[in-house]
Amino acid sequence: MLFTLLTSCNKESGQVKPLEFSSVTDVDGNTYKTVKIGDQWWMCENLKVSHYNDGSAINLIDISVLDSTWSSTTEGSYCFVNDSVYGKLYNYYALADSRKLAPEGWHIPNDAEWQIMEKNIGMSDVQVSNLSWRGTNEAEKLVVKSSSGWPITSLLFGTDEVGFSALPGGVRITDGSTNTEQTTAFWWTSTLASNKAYYRYIDFQHKEIFRQRTYLTYGMSVRCVKD
């Protein structure tokens, strides 16, 4: 059921615009808060499902397991540090599985859908197409208010202007080792480029949003967008 939260708002042309929130539930019964950004509906939380939509279990490779197990697999897999807070980290093979990760009626956003959202929060048409760090302070608009949960030395001062509520879920890199220091946030897009895929990245030392391609064996957070 859709509702409006009057105390959380953004500003357009000097006018206060209430955010619209709703929710969606995955196959495991996890319920996620969702928010409308422009004409898109986004999850306000990282995905934490451990089964595909047909009920099949997604392969778990715990962060305590040998790094080579993660780095060598081409099976859809996940790991986590604290999934109740940060959700799970999935390799790209889990995203690409035909059994699907996203709740019914939702999907993994592609690179173009991320760009639409980034333009909705103020990034220019030129900036949005660049690689590496782009924009000005768009990351702050996505990060939880006052960067709560990020390092106290963070250069970010999160405003959570659009209700995205980004937290530092970290990453599992291609050799299987993990960044669990809660200083970074990584999200997959579904867009492939040869043997790599596009992603987005925020860290505590930048106010901009990073865009790049990387190998499919990385483990990253996932946000879903409504069909």
Q: Render 144-175 in DSSP notation, one character per residue.
A: PGGGTTS-TT-S-----TTS--B---BEE-TT
Q: What local confidence, expressed as pLDDT, does residue 41 receive?
A: 98
Closest Cα to residue 123, out of 108, 134, 111, 131?
A: 134
Helices (runs of H) and strands (runs of E) counted in the chain: 6, 15
Among 6-15, 85-94, 142-151, 193-202, name the one with the lowest average pLDDT: 6-15
User: Distances in Å between the alpha carbon of 151 and those of 34, 172, 182?
Assistant: 25, 19, 7
Three-state secondary structure of 53-96: CCCCECEECCCCCCHHHHHHCCCCEEECCCHHHHCCEECHHHHH
SS3 state of residue 214:
strand
The vertex-94 CA angle with 93 and 99, nearest 5°, equals 115
The identity of residue 155, as a single letter, is L
pLDDT at 208 over 70: yes
> Average pLDDT of 161-188?
93
Q: How far apart are CA 142 and CA 144, in angstroms?
A: 7
- What pLDDT, on a 0 to 100 scale, did the predictor assign at position 107? 98
180 confidence band (pLDDT: 50, 70, 90)? low
Phi, psi dihedrals of residue 99, rounded to the nearest 5°: -75, -15
| pLDDT greater at residue 17 or residue 132 | 132
pLDDT tens column, 124-165: 999 999 999 999 999 999 999 999 999 999 999 999 999 999
DSSP for residue 185: E
